[in-house]
Amino acid sequence: MAANEHEEHAGRWRVEPGTELRLADIDTASKAGAPGDKEATTLAVQDLVGQLSDWQNRLWAEGSQSILLVLQAMDAGGKDGTIRQVFTGVNPQGVRVASFKAPTADELAHDFLWRVHQHAPAHGEMGVFNRSHYEDVLIVRVNELVPEPVWRARYQQIRDFEQILTASGTAVVKVFLHISPEEQAERLQARLDDPTKRWKFAAADLDVRKHWDAYQAAYEEAIRETSTADAPWYVIPADRKWYRNWAVLQVLLDVLHRLDPQFPPEEPGLEDLTVV
């Protein structure tokens, strides 16, 4: 594995398989490792965004590997903002974002991975899941939408599914944007107070918020059960949006360095050609 400058940062948030994860012990407002305050880090983010764009170009040109970023968070955890700000410099042609809402009747009439698998990125693409198959061991567990043996069996099914993606050349990177309940309260209130953001507010979010501890426990177990060497979870402190953006970029760039996509070999004799 080639060393790269992003590795040390990514390792800070990676959940190593088999380790005991306690979300309550992770500071949601951490600035660990950041190059400076908000201003300095935001400048660094601009540079990292440019690097992501360069890697995307290589990944696309090579056309034999892909990357899948799975984004999970509590409501107002910043999934949308992360996608907007991290992928802002990247050629939209090479990025595929899929958002997973409550399943339709047709989706519910299939296995839980049916609707997910078809959105997996093709070779050369960067895929992003805004929520994902993990909802089927999170909200489904907390709201008791299926019996416990059914959701519990899904940990193994998810590990197997992600192994299929890995084996076909997709690096699976899973990020939990970790915010505090206080930060969530502020963000939900901001949605209510701002008429241009009110459309994002769902009264049901307040019910979900009441089950904060149950969700944290469900996340903890899901992350522990499914963080593997090939498809690890990263718990990113996300109360500060600028730190969150910087951290997610570090994780993506570390993975891309390790994938190390190469431009395809050029046709022989091109150096002697002149276009007339």
Q: Does 79 bind ligand ATP (CB under 6 A)?
A: yes
Residue-level length of the chain = 276
| Count of residues interacting with ligand ATP (CB under 6 A) | 15
Please name the residue that has the structure tokens 């979010």.
Answer: 205
User: Residue 111 gets which letter from DSSP?
Assistant: -
**Cα separation, 242 vs 231, whole angstroms:** 25
Q: Does 135 bind Mg ion (CB under 5 A)?
A: no
Burial class (CB in 10 A: 0-12, 13-18, 19+), 266: exposed
Token pair, residue 174, equals 């899973």
Q: Which stretch binds ligand ATP (CB under 6 A): 40-48, 134-142, 163-171, 263-271?
A: 134-142
- Residue 254 interface partner, choices Mg ion, ligand ATP, none, CB cut-off 5-8 Å depending on type: none
Least distance from ligand ATP to the Cβ atom of residue 71, Å: 9
Q: Does 29 bind ligand ATP (CB under 6 A)?
A: no
Considering only residues 104 to 133 of the shown chain, the ones binding ligand ATP according to CB under 6 A are 131
- Residue 206 interface partner, choices Mg ion, ligand ATP, none, CB cut-off 5-8 Å depending on type: none
- Which residue is at the shortest CB distance from ligand ATP? 135
Q: Does 155 bind ligand ATP (CB under 6 A)?
A: no
**Cα separation, 156 vs 94, whole angstroms:** 30
Considering only residues 66 to 125 of the shown chain, the ones binding Mg ion according to CB under 5 A are 75
Please name the residue that has the structure tokens 């799975």.
Answer: 70
SS3 assignment, position 121: coil
Of 89 and 103, the one with the shorter C-beta distance to ligand ATP is 103
Q: Does 190 bind ligand ATP (CB under 6 A)?
A: no
Of 6 and 131, the one with the shorter C-beta distance to ligand ATP is 131
Helices of type H across the chain: 7-13, 38-62, 79-86, 105-108, 114-117, 139-142, 148-167, 181-193, 204-210, 212-226, 241-259
Least distance from ligand ATP to the Cβ atom of residue 2, Å: 35
Contact at 8 Å (CB) between 172 and 162?
Answer: yes
Q: Which residues bind ligand ATP (CB under 6 A)?
A: 75-76, 79-80, 100-103, 131, 135-136, 139-140, 200, 202
Q: Which residues bind Mg ion (CB under 5 A)?
A: 75
